Amino acid sequence: MPERYYKRYRMEFDLKQTPLPAAELPDGFRWTAWEPKLLESHARIKAECFAGEVDAQLFPCLSNVAGCRRLMSDISSRSNFLPETTWLIEHPNPSLTSKYCGTIQGMRRAFKLGAIQNVGITPDCRGLGLGKALVTKSLHGFAECGIQRVYLDVTAANCTAVALYHSIGFRIKDRSYLTLHVPDNATPVAT
Tell me whether residue 165 is exposed, middle or buried, using C-beta atoms within 10 angstroms of its C-beta: 0 to 12, 13 to 18, 19 or more: buried
Mean pLDDT value across residues 156-183: 92
Residues in the chain: 191
Determine the Cα–Cα distance for residues 178 and 126; give it in Å rounded to an integer: 26
The pLDDT tens digits of the residues spanning 9-18 come to 999 999 999 9
Higher-confidence residue of 42 and 182: namely 42
The widest CA-to-CA distance across the chain, in whole angstroms, is 50
Confidence of residue 93 (pLDDT cuts 50, 70, 90): confident
Mean pLDDT, the chain, as a whole number?
A: 92
Backbone angles phi, psi at 133, to 5 degrees: -65, -40
Confidence of residue 176 (pLDDT cuts 50, 70, 90): very high
Name the percent of the chain lying above pLDDT 70. 93
The pLDDT tens digits of the residues spanning 102-158 come to 999 999 999 899 999 999 999 999 999 999 999 999 999 999 999 999 999 999 999
Query: In whole angstroms, how large is the CA radius of gyration of the chain?
Result: 16
Model pLDDT, residue 187: 46
Among 121-125, 180-184, 186-190, whose mean pLDDT is lowest?
Answer: 186-190
The pLDDT tens digits of the residues spanning 20-34 come to 989 999 999 999 999
Determine the Cα–Cα distance for residues 156 and 27; give it in Å rounded to an integer: 31
Distance of CA 181 to the CA centre of its chain: 24
Higher-confidence residue of 150 and 188: namely 150
Kind and range of the H or E run holding 76? helix 65-77
Angle at 151 between CA 146 and CA 153, to 5 degrees: 155
Global pTM reads 0.92
Model pLDDT, residue 94: 66
